[in-house]
Structure 1
Amino acid sequence: MQKVVFDKEFLWGCATASYQVEGAVEEHGRKPSIWDTFCEKPGAILNGNDGSVATDQYHRYKEDVSLMDELGFQAYRFSIAWPRIMPEGKGKVNEAGVSYYRNLCEELHAKGMKAVATLYHWDLPQILQDEGGWTNRETSYAFAAYAKVCYEQLGAYVDQWITLNEPFCSAYLGYLYGEHAPGHTNAREAFDAVHHLNLAHGLSVKEFRKIGLSTPIGITLNPIAPRPATRKPKDRKASELARAITTEVFLHPLMGKGYPSLVTETLKITFPVQANDMDIIAEPIDFIGLNYYNEGAVAYDEEEPFAYREVPVWQRTTDMNWPIVPYGLLRLLHYFDDETQGLPIYITENGCAANDVVEEGRVHDLMRCDYLNQHFAICKQAIDEGVKLKGYFVWSFLDNFEWAFGYSKRFGVVYVDYETQERIIKDSGYMMRDVISGYCEF
């Protein structure tokens, strides 16, 4: 046991995403997103769940902000639902949607918390998917127009902006593996989506700079950098290939390095790049967000599409069956620090699913407490080793709709009874309160 002390400027926050918590999918002008549609597909979501009610934060945001304040959080990372702001995907602005996010930000500010807004956490308006979604270059420009509206309407209320959350998931889980909306399994579509998501980010940052807002803007990636299974050169190559196809196709263009040669030359994958695209994508940002949950291991396998395969690992796992590898976070923090040449980093998601139960009005999620504490210690180690890590957002503030897993997996530091919408602070929530106040030893 040791006391780990963070600098007073270190930002402690919690995070959610619009479709996972808001509910109210048909209220006040909002129209369907790809997730509303995907949830209607038989077998797509465990138990046939959907986000139509979720945790009802659309109606309960004041209650939730009060709970955040009670736990001492300094910032709330939420996402803006594109179909609330521009129900048709482009064109007319829905004032009721804008008002909701203004009110949320004002409530946060009244409690002394920062509002950190993610522009896209996967809920693409269905009407744009009908026109090709992220396989259509025009979606990138529609996103930039939507982003501009958000900057103009909410710029005075938002303290920090994130363009995209985990474009890996949007491109690969949505268009290659079919696990997320829109549920396609087409490699060409996936690689087109990679580029158009990158382009959407760059275009939206350019719009931000034109408007002249002084708040910081960045992007959140979920880097996947599995370690090699053995010391064999081929397995090291497998690790490099995995990192290139999952992470560097996003990170390298952001940093002005173009698409990695391991992808374009070794794997012979092409992207629909047009003139000036790469300059647009590399528009300078103020920080980069990192989402981290686990690290795996890979071996070289030329029979696999990308020449690697995942292999079994030995670590304890969470309720998602994800291995608990705190040291993997340290590896990634140093990797990001090197690749971005010292750009400020925020951990925008970190946490774990656990089989939480209510016992006499309490939730004793000590496994989650242990998981978080191990990762906090890694954060401090990285800072001590020179990484410009500026903040940490726990995933998640609330139990919520966990995408294809429906309501079967709980990530929150606050428990939600989905029948009554009652909130119960878990032990991990109280532990976070102590960590933020500086009185927790681990």
Structure 2
Amino acid sequence: MTRAFPSDFLWGVAASAYQTEGAVHADGRGQSVWDVYAHTPGRTTNGDTADVACDHYHRYPEDIALMSGLGVKAYRLSTAWPRIFPEGDGQVNTRGLDFYDRVIDLLLHEGIEPWICLHHWDMPVSVEERGGWRNRDTAKMFADYSATVIRHFGDRVKRFAPINEPNVIPWVAYNVGRHAPGKQDYQSSLKAIHNLNRAHGLTVKAVRAEAGDAEVGNIVSLGPVRPHYDDAAHEEARILGDCLWRRVMVDPLWLGTYPEPLAEAMEPLIQQNDMQDISQKMDFFGLNHYNPVFVGPNPNTTFGVAETAPPTGMGPLTDVNWVVDPDAFLEQIRDTSARYGNPTIYITENGASYPDALNGARQVIDKDRISYFHLYLDKLLDAIDEGHDVRGYFAWSLMDNFEWGRGFSKRFGLVYVDYPTLQRIPKSSYYWLRDVIAANAV
């Protein structure tokens, strides 16, 4: 049975600057914390770095042509902070702005709406050296960078989001130390949480001031948090894990308060007007979803809790060991609607990694990814039928790219990237999703 999406449903794809652009030394770009992290031995699979990545910086016309061929009407990109402010603040690098001018103008020419996320984890090294997210001043510095971008592109870009998945930063970079800057310290974690939230709120204010007709929302990765084992210790870990993963970077934005069990620990960091700054009215809720998150006690982490492998027998699994569970997707949409007052929701990332390989005809037949998309889009239609205000869907990702600590070993793309040649080869899932978009139905 074919099921149709609403006639005005928005189809898009998403990608990020650091994972795709490469050209890390081109046209005045400064160094980012991920440049340093990826070049540190032992930090990434096979020692991979994003120095070249997909070379989107030079090949963006080809990539936009792929978007056009897919039929999407929106592209969620990120601007690289160190490409625009190489030192984090001070002198603007106009060549960085020029690059995004070229990208945005070509997108608009092709009838594709650019959505800008102002930060996808690539903080300038000079900002990290001044304390990074542990420093209160960083929130203001980030808002100033954001205001520059919004002011420059606001005549053409009408959808902004401050920070991609801010919850991943304290959870992975500060709790387990597995993302840049690779810290493990309790007070640093708390400061990072609060200053990320402040940076978000100050940037929402900047959108209102610099581009009054633009919309702004958050982008956060959420999935139900479940205990690895059914016992008291794992339930305690689940409660703390749920606070850290799902609540501490969302409740302050939408509800104006920090959630238990971290509310008391956050209190000393809150200065006058902070919560008012953080809880600015937003236009949409950007929901990234991949899988339910299983957690357990872990004494080797900052908070004593960490994500675990899925319990034995759970499945099927993607190539990054995430459970394929479309019911968890529906559960998360329901929870978001109920907890945050039925906001307008866009699914700003959803997708799956599988061990794709070229066959003899240089094709990628990725049936597992097609099945994944089909299952999750079907649940998305269930959510719409239930009355949740879901207005669009961005697949992650347009093409294979640098998958952070996993380097190039994992592939999420609709388009296969042959890294030795940088040739782009649309996978079977690309053509499948093209047909879904054309029919606006699955």
Q: Which band: TM-score by shorter chain?
A: over 0.9
Structure 1: how far apart are the matches of 2:318 and 2:157?
Answer: 34
Specify the alignment match of 1:401 in structure 2: 402
Q: Name the CA shift for 1:5/1:42 in 2 (closer, same or farther; >3 Å).
A: same
**For 1:200, what is the secondary structure of its paired residue?**
helix
Structure 2: how far apart are the matches of 1:128 and 1:439?
Answer: 44
Q: CA deviation at 1:273?
A: 1.2
Moved more, 87-96 or 294-303: 294-303
Listed as ranges, the matches of 1:162-241 within 5 Å are: 162-228=161-227, 238-241=237-240
Q: Name the CA shift for 1:249/1:296 in 2 (closer, same or farther; >3 Å).
A: closer
Q: Name the CA shift for 1:378/1:280 in 2 (closer, same or farther; >3 Å).
A: same
Listed as ranges, the matches of 1:337-348 within 5 Å are: 337-348=337-348
Q: CA deviation at 1:297?
A: 3.9
Structure 1: how far apart are the matches of 2:175 and 2:295?
Answer: 20
Q: TM-score, normalised by structure 2?
A: 0.94
Moved more, 365-374 or 334-343: 334-343
Listed as ranges, the matches of 1:2-401 within 5 Å are: 2-228=1-227, 238-265=237-264, 268=265, 272-298=269-295, 305=303, 310=308, 312-313=311-312, 314-359=314-359, 360-401=361-402
Structure 1: how far apart are the matches of 2:65 and 2:311?
Answer: 43
Structure 2: how far apart are the matches of 1:51 and 1:371?
Answer: 27
**For 1:148, what is the secondary structure of its paired residue?**
helix
Quick check: 2:168–2:245 contact (8 Å CA) kept in 1? no
Specify the alignment match of 1:437 in structure 2: 438
Identify unmatched segments of 5+ residues in structure 2.
none
Quick check: 2:201–2:278 contact (8 Å CA) kept in 1? yes
Amino acid at match of 1:422: Q
| CA deviation vs aligned residue, 1:213-255 (integer Å, no higher than 9, x gap) | 2121111011243235688788666544322122211111001
Q: CA deviation at 1:438?
A: 1.5
Moved more, 204-213 or 114-123: 204-213
Structure 2: how far apart are the matches of 1:110 and 1:269?
Answer: 47
Quick check: 2:78–2:118 contact (8 Å CA) kept in 1? yes
Q: Name the CA shift for 1:9/1:233 in 2 (closer, same or farther; >3 Å).
A: farther
Structure 1: how far apart are the matches of 2:184 and 2:236?
Answer: 26
Q: CA deviation at 1:172?
A: 2.6
Q: CA deviation at 1:342?
A: 1.3
Structure 1: how far apart are the matches of 2:123 and 2:298?
Answer: 35
Identify unmatched segments of 5+ residues in structure 1.
none
Quick check: 2:5–2:441 contact (8 Å CA) kept in 1? no
Amino acid at match of 1:296: V
| CA deviation vs aligned residue, 1:22-50 (integer Å, no higher than 9, x gap) | 01111111010001111111101111111
Quick check: 1:32–1:125 contact (8 Å CA) kept in 2? yes
**For 1:393, what is the secondary structure of its paired residue?**
strand
Quick check: 1:241–1:308 contact (8 Å CA) kept in 2? no
Q: Percent identity?
A: 38
Q: CA deviation at 1:109?
A: 0.7
Q: CA deviation at 1:282?
A: 0.2
Amino acid at match of 2:210: I
Quick check: 2:207–2:214 contact (8 Å CA) kept in 1? no
The answer to whether 1:428 aligns with 2:429 is: yes
Quick check: 2:5–2:440 contact (8 Å CA) kept in 1? no
Amino acid at match of 2:280: E
Structure 2: how far apart are the matches of 1:191 and 1:245?
Answer: 10
Quick check: 1:253–1:282 contact (8 Å CA) kept in 2? yes
Structure 2: how far apart are the matches of 1:112 and 1:144?
Answer: 29
Moved more, 224-233 or 22-31: 224-233
Amino acid at match of 1:384: D
Q: CA deviation at 1:20?
A: 0.3
Structure 2: how far apart are the matches of 1:170 and 1:278?
Answer: 20
Moved more, 247-256 or 290-299: 290-299
**Count of matched residue pairs:** 438
| CA deviation vs aligned residue, 1:89-143 (integer Å, no higher than 9, x gap) | 0011111111111111111111111101100000000000011111011110100
| CA deviation vs aligned residue, 1:251-290 (integer Å, no higher than 9, x gap) | 110013310122235xx56562111100000011100111
Q: CA deviation at 1:74?
A: 1.1
Quick check: 1:238–1:300 contact (8 Å CA) kept in 2? yes
Quick check: 2:256–2:276 contact (8 Å CA) kept in 1? no
Q: TM-score, normalised by structure 1?
A: 0.94
Structure 2: how far apart are the matches of 1:181 and 1:308?
Answer: 17
Q: CA deviation at 1:308?
A: 8.2
Quick check: 2:287–2:347 contact (8 Å CA) kept in 1? yes
Structure 2: how far apart are the matches of 1:102 and 1:114?
Answer: 13
